[in-house]
Structure 1
């Protein structure tokens, strides 16, 4: 097969994984990124003062049921066991999340068995809501007013900048309650943290003689010339110079502070009350429990509307945004020799494992297309 020249825009997981798989098949890969570092929002680095590994753009915890993805990341990192156990401060008390039997008993001052707790929550839920349409209705239907107002309402308003009554029920996809004492935040089969950090992992993925990387490099339209194909992981609306307007995102601000010793005794403490301006505090040394540090680095995390010079984190994907997205998708589908990838290129929130799985699939699709002389699609996933 003739070697192709490939340009990849973005040195995060999407670009790095696609680049690696194509490089292994003999293609020449050039990756550019406007930032001064690789790994995108998964970038981490050691704090100079404490030597704690800090997740610069907020914490990333690897969790998946996809064995192919788990095997892939284990080629490039030693994955250490890690279980995410989240706590929440509400009404002057600390509770365990997700809501579980301990939370229920503590909150309602009961000693319920699993069966008794199920009956209690069924009694608290609003059974008159038969077809929940909003996040608020979904929560009231399944957890009741007290738990909803304590754990969901204020946090959701802070996170999304709007009332839960305006958000779709699908955000609260399933009953967010466990009727046992399991406080493992994720249910996935494989969970862990890379021993030497995500930056080192991505560095390993990019370490191939057929891959070159240029950082602090902004993509320009003329960059497409001279390449057989482009994989673009930047914002879809930015590619078209925002000609229809900007797609809506939430962004995050982090207030970093350091302390001696231990600040909060856990990695993540949510603050569910609207009166507290931040959504959570993360203590980064707890993401590397195999290390010992005298000092500690913490982030207070604030969510707000994303503006022009901010880093986009969470796509809003409300009705108005989806109408705007349609316009950009229509433009994109007229393109050739380019594929939009990743969370920004497809305007979807993606966990790391899904990002990697989609990148592996995209690389497979491209290679199969070369063999069968099929055109590479502009999108390899449905994003409408």
Structure 2
């Protein structure tokens, strides 16, 4: 069969590779001038630093099959994401851990003492938190919430934490030890030569053609036996029902002679600082040496039709609109919607790859058994 993959990010590349290995012909198109989607990496021409053009991407997973899969295309170097935050004139470690708590309160508490202390700060009258703010107050109490979460969240999402669901904060750990590794997954690292080179190797198969700066026309879907679409779900239908909401990011680049901040990621929790964080990209490749540094200030704002969508908002209005688009997609034959944009969900890289592997396996099984391919192999409302 001749199958079209719309989008040359992780979803499109992994699915295309599996299809080609199964003997099918895969054509991959992407409207951008590069592959690898939002995890695209490139060398800064001024400093030589490997930069993550759309913000930092750290690979972390407990899925051993996915870990083995990516390492089949490139060696992953050891990397631990140790995030710092500047708040109220001091620098602390994130996620909130025993060092953060002791430093913030000027104490020397042991783990059991800190646990009891934080429970005293927490608002125990909130039995079932519904909003981000309620979750934070129940989670760490008002002091740590104000210092580390409130201002940052207002800047990141452009609204009050009282309007956001509690589930956003539930993903963040609270530790009563001195572990400052942001992630707790078994496998963590960075591809030695960047994500774009890794994706290039995934796409390097005689059964795969790649065409960049090529936009998809839904009217051309009938020219292929099937389409895997990783673009925006609402975009496939010409935004006929309205636009799904996203946040986007603006990046202000600057260089520095030497080491600017001593870490890869420095958050800024104070509301009056306009950017959410500064990333210093040479620290994402600690096995390399660079005299100069490339840094980016990150600014979050509402996504317009001209912007690159980053974070799906998925509040009440967006979920209602999403349900309408899902219904329309399920009535559309010959296309499967995949990935972050195609299913309107925030996905880490490992989950993106896992879903791509599972999707193409199920698709190949369906077609082998004479069953019609599904619009979604991963439930968008999940």
Q: TM-score, normalised by structure 1?
A: 0.98
Equivalence for 2:86: 89
Residues 1:358 and 2:355 aligned together: yes
Matches within 5 A, 1:99-138: 99-138=96-135
Equivalence for 2:27: 30
* Structure 1 counterpart of 2:169, from 172, 196, 219: 172
Residues 1:307 and 2:304 aligned together: yes
Residues 1:209 and 2:206 aligned together: yes
Equivalence for 2:62: 65
* Structure 2 counterpart of 1:229, from 221, 226, 229: 226
Equivalence for 1:242: 239
- The CA distance in 1 between the partners of 2:33 and 2:245, in whole Å, is 25
Structure 1, residues 255-297: CA drift from partner, whole Å, max 9, x if none?
0000110000000000001000000000000000000000000
Equivalence for 1:11: 8
Is contact 1:142-1:175 (8 Å) kept?
no
> Deviation of residue 17 (structure 1)?
0.1
Length, aligned pairs only: 381
- The CA distance in 1 between the partners of 2:56 and 2:130, in whole Å, is 31
> Deviation of residue 176 (structure 1)?
3.1
Q: Which runs of 4+ in 1 moved over 3 A?
A: none
SS at 2:108 equivalent: coil
Q: TM-score, normalised by structure 2?
A: 0.99
Structure 1, residues 296-319: CA drift from partner, whole Å, max 9, x if none?
000000000000100000000000
For the aligned residue pairs, the C-alpha RMSD in angstroms reads: 0.7
Equivalence for 1:284: 281
Equivalence for 1:141: 138
Equivalence for 2:327: 330
- The CA distance in 2 between the partners of 1:232 and 1:245, in whole Å, is 19
Is contact 1:250-1:306 (8 Å) kept?
yes
Structure 1, residues 300-341: CA drift from partner, whole Å, max 9, x if none?
000000001000000000000011111111110101111000
In structure 2, relative to structure 1, the CA distance for the partners of 1:344 and 1:48 (3 Å cut) is same
Structure 1, residues 123-148: CA drift from partner, whole Å, max 9, x if none?
00001111111110011012000000
Structure 1, residues 181-229: CA drift from partner, whole Å, max 9, x if none?
0000001000000000000000000000000000000101232122110
Structure 1, residues 41-60: CA drift from partner, whole Å, max 9, x if none?
11110000110001001110
Is contact 2:221-2:334 (8 Å) kept?
no
SS at 1:7 equivalent: strand
- The CA distance in 1 between the partners of 2:86 and 2:172, in whole Å, is 21
Equivalence for 2:380: 383
SS at 1:94 equivalent: strand
Is contact 2:359-2:378 (8 Å) kept?
no
Instruction: Identify unmatched segments of 5+ residues in structure 1.
Output: none
Structure 1, residues 224-266: CA drift from partner, whole Å, max 9, x if none?
1221100000001011111111100000000000011000000
> Deviation of residue 174 (structure 1)?
5.3
- The CA distance in 1 between the partners of 2:175 and 2:89, in whole Å, is 23
- The CA distance in 1 between the partners of 2:9 and 2:63, in whole Å, is 20
- The CA distance in 1 between the partners of 2:88 and 2:218, in whole Å, is 53
> Deviation of residue 175 (structure 1)?
6.6
* Structure 1 counterpart of 2:49, from 35, 47, 52: 52
- The CA distance in 1 between the partners of 2:75 and 2:149, in whole Å, is 36
- The CA distance in 1 between the partners of 2:208 and 2:149, in whole Å, is 45
